[in-house]
Structure 1
Amino acid sequence: MTNLTNIVEILAKQALGGQQQAPQGGGLGGILGSVLGQVSGGQSQQGGLGGILGSVLGGLGGTQGTQQQAPQAGGLNAQSLLVAVVPLVLGWIQSQGGLQGALSKLQGAGLGGQVQSWVSPDQGNTSVPAQQIQGLFDTQQVEQVAQQAQVPTQEVYGAISSVLPQVIDSLTPQGDATDHGEANGDIQNVLNMVSGFLK
């Protein structure tokens, strides 16, 4: 069992301002639902976090529909932006063929030392400069998130560089001995949960 749902739940709770009581659904599902509801003002398709997650997931599914943009008051707060990039990060891992492919891609990008610190259970997570991951992510998807969140693209890359080490760490609780099939299954489960709230 990986810790992916735990890390997403922690990020979602932070986005809610640390409210510990999980809404009616309970667990990660309830928390994610309330983040999506709160940030998007209840309209989970247009604007807000719901719109962002929808466009990210839509982009990953290849159904790049024209996303209507609801007017928003200001950009997302930093914590909500972290939650908004989680599907982007998970989708990127999937697009690399799963956890193993993503780790290879990161190591190939000169991030071997950092990746080892994320995978190793007995090391702290070494941070990664946003510039080093810019070439790895689809520019169009990042710009779409930035546009909908009403923040500069640099902030989205910054959020990705914060979330990526946490996600890799949470997917590899047994270090190199982690079951990659199980990790990839957990990624799919979280993406399914998020897309369930956007239907």
Structure 2
Amino acid sequence: MSYYYLISLLTILSSFLFQTSFSTEPYLTYICTGSNYTENSQFGKDLNCLMQDLNKVNGTDNGGFRNASSGQAYGLAQCRGDVKPDDCHACINTTTSDLTKTQCPGRRRGISCGTAEKLLRDLAKKAPVARKPNMFAECTAELPEKESGNRTLYGMAQCSMDLSPKKCTSCLNQAVSTLSACCTRNIGGRVYYGSCIMRYEIYPFLGK
């Protein structure tokens, strides 16, 4: 199961927040926080209805994005822009079940989580105004031979579709700052926020 394709699924107190950690392993990271609720409570019932609604995303309509609410629960789900529709649908169906039943049961909030800098900033500019309906952008850049032996950098960025272009830019700029501070001397880096993601590697990873 390609779990790492999912960007985020959130419901906040009025919700539950979930965010993937797009690793190369088929496993999601879950961070469960917030106060507890009981399955038979009104919030528990609202949450179950919400998850059923989010499962209707099919990966084709609206760029694989869906947001919904039910009573006190609010959530959104969105797949990465390079994901096939069938993979998107299967991932969200599995994740909504795991999140509420096995990973964060009874919790109101959960999270599941030089040249390089220029590449990142290019991505931050492109994603908010992307023509695709999912605020998704990808770029490549050639590293100088003295740095890497003519390696190519591959990067992607995407925002949650409930963000305005301005807020998308702000989120991605924060991601650029984080990656620039920690990772631009490394061969790859990833940042996952609740509303945007950014990643770069020295190997092609989109669609995989």
**Is the shorter-chain TM-score for this pair beyond 0.5, marking a shared fold?**
no
* Structure number having the greater helix percentage: 1
Q: Which has the higher contact order (CA 8 A, sep 6+)?
A: 1
For normalisation by structure 2, the TM-score amounts to 0.30
TM-score between both structures, scaled by the size of structure 1: 0.31
Higher strand content, 1 or 2: 2
